């Protein structure tokens, strides 16, 4: 009888724990340090662009995002091959959070899609470094070939915003 009472109490305690807003996979995980840079406004259909330095090192400079925006969840589609072919995964993502890539995706993305209403910044190094070489992709864009931006197989982290 004590065993059943203990089991029932344990089940009740576990079910009372809050659920995470995003089901995080091993393919994207929060960067240990969240240095969130200022983000541009989301303009649907605007072309992607690169900025920052092209070296594979981080300057370590941090800028805090002074504007407050409501956090939202989106799915960023990443593909191993050109034109959305080959291995594919939808990365569940909260806005205003830096994610490092895992599960074989680090330096392996060749094409990607950012949904309408959001923008994403993809970084060459882990940790979304402010001075890092980066590709900004406004919402509603499918990038069929990252070689166009010299960003094929070099993405290590990303941050999305709304």
Determine the pLDDT at residue 69. 56
Determine the pLDDT at residue 161. 93
Residue-wise DSSP of 34-103: --PPP-PPP-TTPPPEEES--SS----------S-----EEEEEEESSGGG-SSEEEEEEETT-EEEE-T
Across the strands, what pairs with 37? Answer: none
Determine the pLDDT at residue 31. 74
In CATH, what is the architecture of 28-64+72-161? Sandwich (2.60)
Question: Is the pLDDT confidence value at 109 over 80?
Answer: yes
- Can you state the percent helix, strand and coil of the chain, rounding each to 5? 15, 30, 60
Structure tokens at 89: 């995964």
Structure tokens at 68: 């407050």
Q: d(Cα 94, Cα 74) in Å, to the nearest integer?
A: 6
Determine the pLDDT at residue 64. 40
Q: Would you say 112 and 85 are in contact if contact means Cβ atoms under 8 Å apart?
A: no
Domain map (residue ranges) of the chain: 28-64+72-161
The mean pLDDT value for 67-86 works out to 87
Claim: this prediction has a pTM higher than 0.75:
no
Note the pLDDT tens digit of each residue in 17-70.
444 444 445 677 777 667 666 677 766 666 776 766 554 444 443 334 444 556
Q: d(Cα 50, Cα 42) in Å, to the nearest integer?
A: 16
Name the most confidently modeled range: 20-24, 78-82, 128-132: 78-82
Q: Which residue has the tokens 């690169």?
A: 50
Structure tokens at 96: 């205003």
Looking from the CA of 122 toward its CB, the CA atoms found within 13 Å total: 31
The mean pLDDT value for 67-79 works out to 81
Determine the pLDDT at residue 30. 74
Determine the pLDDT at residue 16. 46
The mean pLDDT value for 119-139 works out to 93
The mean pLDDT value for 77-106 works out to 95
Residue 71: φ, ψ to 5°: -75, 140
């Amino acid at each position: 009888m004590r065993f059943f009472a203990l089991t029932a109490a344990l089940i009740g305690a576990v079910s009372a724990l809050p659920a995470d807003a995003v089901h995080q996979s091993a393919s994207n995980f929060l960067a240990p340090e969240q240095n969130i840079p200022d983000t541009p406004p989301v303009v649907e259909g605007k072309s992607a662009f690169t900025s920052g330095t092209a070296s594979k090192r981080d300057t370590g400079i941090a800028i805090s995002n002074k504007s407050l925006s409501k956090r939202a969840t989106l799915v960023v589609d990443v593909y191993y091959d050109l034109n959305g072919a080959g291995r594919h995964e939808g990365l569940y993502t909260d806005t205003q959070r830096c994610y490092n890539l895992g599960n074989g995706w680090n330096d392996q993305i060749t094409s990607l899609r950012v949904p309408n209403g959001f923008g994403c910044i993809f970084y060459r190094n882990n940790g979304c470094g402010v001075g890092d070489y980066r590709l900004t992709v406004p919402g509603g864009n499918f990038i069929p070939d990252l070689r166009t931006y010299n960003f094929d197989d070099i993405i290590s982290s990303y941050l999305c915003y709304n």
